[in-house]
Amino acid sequence: MRIDSPAYASEDTPAARFPDDRERPGARLNLQLVGRTLTLEEAASFLHMHPEEVRTRAKRGIIPGAKTGRRWVFLEVDLAGFVRSLYPVRRQALQVTTSEEATTS
């Protein structure tokens, strides 16, 4: 057994708090869950918008994105979720009744 294994780790060590790497903050991300990362230009193409408009909306927090250094980075999954959030809410049509029908029921 290694000394840094959970069996030998004290409660204050990272190995004791996060025995499995998947539970540790900052551990390797599962790329299947995260999806592709897009540049500003790719995100603009995905959204069918001008890159400056995407940059402006990302700065305001309207479009999900992060600025890493000098460049904007967008996750394709987040942009798809953003587009889905713009879908109109389905509403059930109201049933129209005449005043006679309303009084007889």
CATH class of 35-86: mainly alpha
What are the residue ranges in the chain where pLDDT is below 70?
Answer: 1-33, 101-105
- The residue ranges of DSSP E strands in the chain, in sequence order, are 37-38, 66-68, 71-75
pLDDT of residue 94: 77
- The residue ranges of DSSP E strands in 1-81, in sequence order, are 37-38, 66-68, 71-75
In the chain, the amino acid numbered 69 is: G
- Give me the residue spans of the domains in the chain: 35-86
pLDDT of residue 97: 77
Residue range 40-68, pLDDT digits in tens: 999 999 999 999 999 999 999 999 999 99
Q: How far is CA 86 from the centre of its chain?
A: 14
